[in-house]
Amino acid sequence: MRPNIDSYFLLNSVQNKQFVQHVLDRSTGTSYPAINSSDLSNIEIHVPSKLSEQKKIGSFFEQLDNTIALHQRKLDKLKRIKQVYLQLLFPQNGDKVPRVRFANFEHEWELRKFFDSISSTIDFRGRTPKKLGMDWSESGYLALSALNVKNGYIDSSADAHYGDDKLYNKWMVGRELTKGQVLFTTEAPMGNVAQVPDDKGYILSQRTVAFETKEDMMTNDFLAILLKSPVVFNNLSALSSGGTAKGVSQKSLKGLSVTVPLDIDEQQKIGSLFKQLNNTIALHQSKLDKLKSIKQAFLQKIFI
């Protein structure tokens, strides 16, 4: 006789890593592993004999899933709001003013070459600890790479490599990163943008560059969002090379033109709005990631 199993208990039981591994061990195929129904039916799971215990476990995970779904919806909504603002607050192709502006700004924006607003670019492409005769450390200065520079924030848990004082001094002294400086990933992926969060010191690593702006022509906060505006991002994509992994070089960036407010105050207002929005998105993303980690931990502890 088929045992009586609470549906939500069963749903989360099959999400347990051990069950998933049992499925993968019995699967065939490489690109798209698949398991037939008879092999799946032979996989055993441990179930509490009392239905009441199953229901308590199922109810716990149901509440956790609902909380995760709620944070996911909030995050998705914030990202959609950001995309709408990007469309409205930046001129479209050929336009000299955006559709929506802050009060008291009326002048047309200026079309200029991207590097007209940049005083210098910090680019250590190809530099590695090994090439410097050294190695990464377990702690110290976080290395910023194309894997942990996300859109609007630094994910310190991704590709976490650290350099000690000796490596930092050999790698970064003379070109130190400062708070607010704009980081840009050049490939794999191309086009992620974040800002240096503080003055603790960071190592600029693989496939990531940092821009130093001419302060009288462009603010850091405005540059950070300008690079994510639809027109500029599409132009960057057109300038990029490569097949699956698109990339953009400093040489190709020389061909990039951008439309910019002449008034620094307008730049500051736009940059400040998106910086607050990015911080809120990063906060919700962090909460969501923690909730997912908590769920995985409970799946490991509660299920056998």
pLDDT digits (tens, 9 = 90+) for 157-177: 899 999 999 999 999 999 999
Clarify whether residues 256 and 114 are in a common domain. Answer: yes
Q: Hunting for tokens 């069963």 — which residue is that?
A: 10
Residue 191 has φ and ψ, to the nearest 5°, of 100, 5
Q: What is the pLDDT of residues 274-290, one digit of tens each?
A: 999 999 999 999 999 99
| Contact yes or no for 267/219 (Cβ under 8 A) | yes
Q: CA angle, corner 24, sides to 20 and 27, nearest 5?
A: 140
How confident is the model over 48-74, as a mean pLDDT? 92
Q: Is residue 272 within 8 Å of residue 222, measured between CB atoms? A: no
Residue 44's pLDDT is 75
- For residue 302, how far is the Cα from the chain centroid? 31
Q: Are residues 220 and 279 in the same domain?
A: no
**pLDDT above 90: residue 128:** yes
Please confirm whether the linkage preceding 189 is cis (ω < 30° from 0).
yes
- Sign of the Cα pseudo-torsion (186, 192, 195, 201, in order): negative
Using one digit for the tens of pLDDT, what is the confidence trace for 85-112? 999 999 998 899 999 999 999 999 999 9
Predicted local confidence at residue 244, as pLDDT:
67
Q: Do 206 and 250 fall into the same domain?
A: yes
Together in a domain, 66 and 156: no
What are the start-end ranges of the E strands in 205-276?
208-213, 257-260
CATH code, domain with 271: 1.10.287.1120
Q: Which of 13-22, 97-106, 131-140, 149-158 has the lowest mean pLDDT?
A: 13-22
**What single-letter DSSP state applies at residue 109?**
P
Identify the pLDDT of residue 19: 76
What was the pLDDT predicted at 33?
78
38 to each of 27, 35, 43, how far by Cα in Å?
A: 12, 8, 9
The pLDDT assigned to 243 comes to: 66
pLDDT > 70? residue 266: yes
**Containing domain of residue 1, as a range?**
1-106+264-304
Q: How far apart are CA 118 and CA 223, in angstroms?
A: 10
User: What are the strands of the beta sheet with 141-144, ordered from one edge?
Assistant: 162-163, 141-144, 203-204
For residue 52, the one-letter residue type is: S
Percent with pLDDT over 90 in the chain: 72
Q: What are the residues facing 203 on neighbouring strands?
A: 143
Same domain flag for 212 and 119: yes
Task: Provide the pLDDT for residue 34.
Answer: 83
Per-residue confidence (pLDDT) for residue 68, from 0 to 100: 96
pLDDT at 304: 67
- Angle (deg, nearest 10), helices 264-302 and 17-25: 80
Q: What percent of the chain has pLDDT over 70?
A: 97
Q: Indicate the pLDDT class of residue 45, thresholds 50, 70 and 90.
A: confident
- Name residue 121's beta-bridge partners: 211
Are residues 255 and 150 part of one domain? yes
Both 170 and 221 in one domain: the answer is: yes
Total domains present in the chain: 2
Ranked by mean pLDDT, the top range of 39-48, 225-234, 236-245 is 225-234
Specify the pTM.
0.85
Shared domain for 141 and 246, answered yes or no, is: yes
Mean pLDDT of the chain: 92
Looking up residue 147, the CATH number of its domain turns out to be: 3.90.220.20
- Using CB atoms within 10 Å of the CB of residue 295, give its burial: 0 to 12 exposed, 13 to 18 middle, 19+ buried: middle
Residues linked to residue 163 through DSSP beta bridges, in sequence order: 141
The DSSP symbol for 134 reads: -
**Spatial contact of 118 and 211, defined as CB atoms under 8 Å apart:** yes
Please count the CA atoms within 13 angstroms of the CA of 134 that sit on its side-chain side. 16
Same domain, 121 and 241: yes
280 token code pair? 């809120």
Asked whether residue 158 falls in the same domain as residue 80, the answer is no
Q: Is a pLDDT exceeding 90 seen at residue 267?
A: yes
Is there a single domain that holds both residue 29 and residue 65? yes
Cα–Cα–Cα angle for 48, 54, 56, rounded to 5 degrees: 135
Same domain flag for 91 and 115: no
Beta strands in the chain (DSSP E): 110-113, 118-123, 141-144, 162-163, 182-186, 190-195, 203-204, 208-213, 257-260
pLDDT tier at 302, thresholds 50, 70, 90: confident
248: tokens are: 């953009």
Q: Dump pLDDT digits (tens) for 59-69.
A: 999 999 999 99
> Which pLDDT does position 3 carry in this prediction?
65
